[in-house]
Amino acid sequence: MGPGGAVICMAPTHPQPDAGRLEIQSSRDDIDMVEKVILEAAQRHGYQDASCFAIRLAVEEALVNAFHHGHRDLPKSTPVSINYQVNPQRICIVIEDQGPGFDVETLPDPTAEENLQRPTGRGVLLIRAYMTRVKFSKNGSRIEMTYEQMSN
Amino acid sequence: MASGDSRLRVKQDNSVTIIEFIDRNILDEANIQLIGEEIAALIEAEPEPKLLISFANVDHLSSAALGTLITVNNKIRNSEGLLRLSDIDPQIYEVFVITKLHKLFEIHPTTEQALASFN
């Protein structure tokens, strides 16, 4: 069962889909655990090194954004939720924080010449670059990221 | 040199300070902050610092690590020093390209080529 109670049906010859819901607090160990769970599922479903690199980077950036920006004014113990579904075709990860959100459209372009020397503001750019689809909702406090396996 | 809680290996090649990372993954915020502070101390130790940062051991990095590199670059510019990066894995180099930071940094394929570029 994945986000929203969706069930993925697969042909019996394929590996079974992996899905789950996690809640974590702001700690390196918790973030590492989420990345490990999702990447192990990805590897079980045949995702190669380049895909795992992309997924790990996107999850890392989204979780760090959730805690650093979303939960900036909230207690450190406030949890972030992660729903994930992995099957051989795609990986869908939904990360939701409990902060006030933000307007993703107002983020400055970190690749603009005048912003290249700014040390922050590249997380969303990297998520968009590495994932197939990215959708923000709930005023920016919820990000849905989909990575599709390229067919051979 | 790599002592105590240091996240770096530091060695000297004539006037160039060569820095390597101990960690394969540069993701942890506390470690990234420590790395930034260690490199800042190296920059402050020289009047016109020449730094070569090798990514030979690095498999993953985050935008927070890129931010620290940019801060290092700004500090070196302010000190009228020179910074070179080298040995960046193709997957990580792609991160530099996506962020266009390959335009900001002088990046060389190998440590030897980066060392030669200081002359």
What does the pLDDT read at residue B50?
A: 97
Q: Does B78 touch chain A (CB under 8 A)?
A: no
Dist CA B87 CA B96 (whole Å):
13
Q: Does B95 touch chain A (CB under 8 A)?
A: yes
* Range of the structural domain that residue A143 is part of: 17-148
Q: CB contacts < 8 Å between A and B, how many?
A: 54
Work out how many domains chain B is built from and give that number. Answer: 1
| Ramachandran assignment for B114, one of left (phi > 0), alpha (psi -120 to 50 degrees), beta (any other) | alpha
- Structural domain contains residue B58: yes
- Structural domain contains residue B74: yes
Q: Does B99 touch chain A (CB under 8 A)?
A: yes
Per-residue confidence band for B119, with pLDDT thresholds at 50, 70 and 90? confident
Q: Helix B29-44 crosses helix B63-78 at what angle (to 10 degrees)?
A: 10
Which residue matches tokens 């697969």?
A: A10
Distances (CA, A) of A95 to A41, A59, B41, B64, B108: 17, 9, 37, 19, 37
pLDDT tens digits along B26-79: 998 889 999 999 999 999 999 999 999 999 989 999 999 999 999 999 999 999
- Structural domain contains residue A8: no
Q: Is A23 helix (H, G, I), strand (E, B) or coil?
A: strand
- Structural domain contains residue B3: no
HSE of A21, CA atoms in CB hemisphere, 13 A: 10
- Structural domain contains residue A69: yes
Instruction: Mutate one of A32, A39, A49, A53 to test the B interface: name it (highest B CB count within 10 A).
Output: A53
- Subunit contact B95:A120, Cβ cutoff 8 A: no
Q: Is B114 helix (H, G, I), strand (E, B) or coil?
A: helix
Chain A: residue whose CA lies nearest to B74: A117
CA angle A96, A48, B22 (to 5 degrees): 80
Of B29, B63, B70, the CB nearest to A117: B70
Work out how many domains chain A is built from and give that number. Answer: 1
What does the pLDDT read at residue B5?
A: 76
- Looking at residues B95-118, what average pLDDT do you find? 97
- Structural domain contains residue A5: no
- Subunit contact A126:B63, Cβ cutoff 8 A: yes
Among candidate residues A81, A67, A72, the one with its CA nearest the CA of residue A26: A67
Q: Which residues of chain A have pLDDT under 70?
A: 1-17, 151-152
Chain B: residue whose CA lies nearest to A122: B63
- Structural domain contains residue B16: yes
What does the pLDDT read at residue A1?
A: 38
- Structural domain contains residue B112: yes
What does the pLDDT read at residue A32?
A: 96
Q: Is A84 helix (H, G, I), strand (E, B) or coil?
A: strand
- ipTM summary value: 0.92
Q: Does B70 touch chain A (CB under 8 A)?
A: yes
- Structural domain contains residue A6: no
Chain B: residue whose CA lies nearest to A30: B28
CB crowding B83-94: b at 16 or more within 10 Å, else e: bbbbbbbeebeb
Dist CA A9 CA A104 (whole Å):
34
CATH of the domain at A56: 3.30.565.10
Dist CA B52 CA B76 (whole Å):
11
- Structural domain contains residue A1: no
What does the pLDDT read at residue B92?
A: 97
- Subunit contact A60:B62, Cβ cutoff 8 A: yes
- Structural domain contains residue B2: no
Which residue matches tokens 């996107």?
A: A58
For residue A139, the distance in angstroms to the closest alpha carbon of chain B comes to 23
CA angle B85, B91, B95 (to 5 degrees): 65
SS3 content of chain A, % helix, strand, coil (to 5): 40, 20, 40
CB proximity under 8 Å: B 17-36 to A: 27-30
Q: Max CA-CA distance within chain A?
A: 54
Residue B14 has pLDDT above 90, yes or no: yes
Chain A: residue whose CA lies nearest to B36: A119
- Structural domain contains residue A11: no
Dist CA A32 CA A127 (whole Å):
17
What does the pLDDT read at residue B86?
A: 98
* Range of the structural domain that residue B73 is part of: 8-116
Q: Is A47 helix (H, G, I), strand (E, B) or coil?
A: coil
What does the pLDDT read at residue B102?
A: 97
**A53 to chain B: which residues are within 8 Å by CB?**
60, 91
CATH of the domain at B105: 3.30.750.24
